[in-house]
Chain A
Amino acid sequence: MAEHKIFGPETDPAGDAGYPADHPARKGFFTDTSICIGCKACEVACKQWNDVPDDGFDLLGLSYDNTGALGASTWRHVAFIEQPATHAAPIDLGPPARGPAPSTVDLGMPSFSKPGDGSGVEDREEFRWLMSSDVCKHCTHAGCLDVCPTGALFRTEFGTVVVQQDICNGCGYCVSGCPYGVIQRREGDGRAWKCTLCYDRLKDGLQPACATACPTQSIQYGDLDELRVRAAARVETLHEQGVTAARLYGEDPDDGVGGNGAFFLLLDEPEVYGFPPDPVVPTRDLSRMWKFAGAAALALASAAVAVFGGPA
């Protein structure tokens, strides 16, 4: 039997799961939060394409976030953080829509300028808005997948992690196995649900619904290797522009989950966006945990022998 890795860098999770060498390249998301505009098109596209039911229409009072968190019926979640901030130079919004616009016809529409254009940067409010579209991380070492006792959760040929709904019996183990709090049991349904990275669309050579709908290319889909190169370049650009807080989250193959299939560019600490700062797949300590259980079992067994040895 082939040796399977449960922790550490892993270049080919689909191959590790047993797919033949000609399986497709690992696919993923690079979510560049520096160009997210908080439109929630990703949330809507995901719901529409995957026929995900609503999970309440509460006003949470958390800035523009009325979704709250990822869950059984929320597979994309846009976080909104209103922060005090001093403005340096405005962030260059980067790659999308560079170069001359395609030939256009002047419709004679009224023009406008951006707020602050006339008065200069120093007159703007000392405030910044962080927006970030969260999603299942499709971990290299996925805690949910490792603990699933039915085989309902599986690794696809694209290296993503998907629940087979006809298999899941709702044991709930994956819910606690996830170090990010992504997967959840759906009320009234009983099974566990999460982002499939649009497995059906990938099979047909399409992009996931959220990435397709994203109007700013904040959500970029593609081969993970390529996304990593693109992300590194973007961080470098931002650093050159003075946005020193820009950092990648989840792209490091040496992190506690072997790196994410869906990783992020953030402008503040991960926990500000609701991410765990240093997640670790619980499976890492599997053999250590069984050793302690073995010692405890031995303690019980020897006690059971010993108690029959003494006086009646």
Chain B
Amino acid sequence: MTRAGRGNGRREQVSREQGDYRRDRPELGDRVHQDGPPGGRLGPSVRGGDGSREQSMVPRAEFRSYYGRQILKTPAWEDKIAYYFFAGGLSGGCALLAAGADLTGRPGLRRGTRVSGLAALAVGSYYLVADLGRPERFHHMLRVAKPTSPMSMGTWLLAAYGPGLGLAAVSELVPSRWRGTVPGRLVGALARPSGLAAAALAPGVASYGAVLLSQTAVPAWNTAHEELPFIFTGSSAASAGGLGMILAPVAEAAPARRLAVYGAVLELAASRRLESRVGLVREAYDTGRAGRYLQRASTLTAGGVLGSMLLGRRSRLAAVVSGAALLAGGVFERLGLVHAGIQSTQDPKYVVVPQRERLEERAAKG
């Protein structure tokens, strides 16, 4: 179309400051944009100095918009929700490792993962509440149980999961002189069943956040609903495995190492599938803060896996370094996913282009 040369979606990317429109306004309201296919982490895209792409494999998509303004609202969530997802997933992974360590007689691994699982849950809960616009009304979540709201389901899941993990963790912290008392013996006796109950819910705790993100109109999250749960549980397993390697003696840490490797491979494979499947919105994952965070996540996770496989059983130091890399990778992964969603709401192309294609397909079918 005629005014298409007026810049691609990149230059017109919508800033959160409305004033930016003045600098780059068209003479008229109705804009026609062009944009190329996603390039990115794996793609061959080469960008020119002004951010435009010099090469593209598919014809550029054209779309119209209202002054290039974003259609969707930028999510109210930012980094805090990413930290919550990380901490919640880590806690779930820890609860699973703790239950296994308890049943297979690995007291070092059990103690470390029970206590840190509870600590992670506490940290996660802090971020979850702090992210609210009205934190003092957190308990309003408990007014209803609503199957159409993954956040409501998640709240109840956490409410059921927390006490079991808490009791198991408390049993590790009871000073030896109190263990003979009636409350001490009671806690000791309940530690295993309550830890197992928490472990039964832990996979749900680690995965529901993916549904929470996907069940939104946010293009990057909604489109990726097939892969996000696997990235979530994979990353949770990698993080918890990494923490287990840090906390437990090398002799007890074999299950933690295996869980870390399994989780990291799952996370990386699911991310790869996401990139190849989501189409245009892949660009939201590849660029800006999201792109940088996800790149760092992949590097740290891959490095952590290699470290744990090659050196994890030989040296405690290598285990600690690899574990820390896996944990950091988990944080960046969640930050990257959250920011990909945010970025995908800030450019109307992620809304208009796929929806237009859908309409055209439907029209072609009759």
Q: Answer whether A and B are interacting partners.
A: yes
Binary contact readout B214-239 vs A (1 if CB under 8 angstroms, 0 otherwise): 11111001100110111011101100
Binds B, one of A19-27, A140-148, A207-215: A140-148
Binary contact readout A145-157 vs B (1 if CB under 8 angstroms, 0 otherwise): 0111111100000
Complex contact B259–A177 (CB within 8 A): no
**Residues in B whose Cβ lies below 8 Å from that of A242:** none
A274 to B104, CA, bound (A): 59
Binds B, one of A28-36, A87-95, A164-172, A195-203: A164-172
Complex contact A312–B211 (CB within 8 A): no
**Residues in A whose Cβ lies below 8 Å from that of B18:** 56, 58, 60, 68
Interface residues of A in 168-216 (CB under 8 A from B): 168-173, 175-185, 189-192
**Residues in A whose Cβ lies below 8 Å from that of B337:** none
The total of chain B residues at the interface (CB under 8 A) is 95
Complex contact B229–A147 (CB within 8 A): no
Also in contact, A81 and B66, with CB within 8 A (given A151-B144, A277-B355, A297-B203): yes
Q: Is A311 an interface residue (CB 8 A)?
A: yes
The total of chain A residues at the interface (CB under 8 A) is 86
Complex contact A293–B143 (CB within 8 A): no
Complex contact A279–B25 (CB within 8 A): no
Also in contact, A176 and B76, with CB within 8 A (given A293-B208, A301-B203): yes
Q: Is A273 an interface residue (CB 8 A)?
A: yes
Binds A, one of B46-54, B147-155, B304-312: B147-155
Q: Is A37 an interface residue (CB 8 A)?
A: no
**Residues in A whose Cβ lies below 8 Å from that of B93:** 300
Q: Is B77 an interface residue (CB 8 A)?
A: yes
Binds A, one of B134-142, B170-178, B186-194, B281-289: B134-142
Also in contact, A181 and B70, with CB within 8 A (given A61-B21, A68-B18, A298-B203): yes
Interface residues of B in 16-69 (CB under 8 A from A): 18-19, 21-22, 25, 27-30, 63-67, 69
Binds B, one of A42-50, A230-238, A283-291: A283-291
A177 touches which of B27, B215, B230, B262 (Cβ 8 Å)? B215
Closest to A191 in B: B133
Q: Is B131 an interface residue (CB 8 A)?
A: yes
Q: Is A243 an interface residue (CB 8 A)?
A: no
Q: Is A292 an interface residue (CB 8 A)?
A: yes
A296 to B216, CA, bound (A): 19
**Residues in A whose Cβ lies below 8 Å from that of B132:** 169-172, 190
Tell me which of A83, A176, A294 has the highest count of chain B C-beta atoms within 10 A of its own C-beta: A176
Complex contact B266–A299 (CB within 8 A): yes
Interface residues of A in 63-93 (CB under 8 A from B): 63, 65, 68-69, 71, 79-84
Q: Could you write out 27 A-B pairs with CB less than 8 Å apart? A: A60-B21, A68-B18, A69-B69, A148-B146, A149-B149, A169-B141, A170-B76, A171-B76, A171-B132, A173-B151, A181-B73, A183-B73, A185-B76, A189-B133, A190-B132, A275-B71, A276-B351, A277-B352, A277-B355, A282-B222, A289-B211, A299-B266, A300-B207, A304-B96, A304-B100, A310-B258, A311-B254
Interface residue ranges, A against B (CB under 8 Å): 6, 56, 58-63, 65, 68-69, 71, 79-84, 130, 143, 146-152, 167-173, 175-185, 189-192, 268-269, 271-279, 282-283, 285-286, 288-290, 292-301, 303-308, 310-312
Interface residue ranges, B against A (CB under 8 Å): 18-19, 21-22, 25, 27-30, 63-67, 69-73, 75-77, 92-93, 96-97, 99-101, 103-104, 131-135, 137-138, 140-141, 143-144, 146, 148-152, 155, 199, 202-204, 206-208, 210-212, 214-218, 221-222, 225-226, 228-230, 232-234, 236-237, 251-252, 254-256, 258-259, 262-263, 266, 341, 345, 348, 351-352, 355-356, 358-359
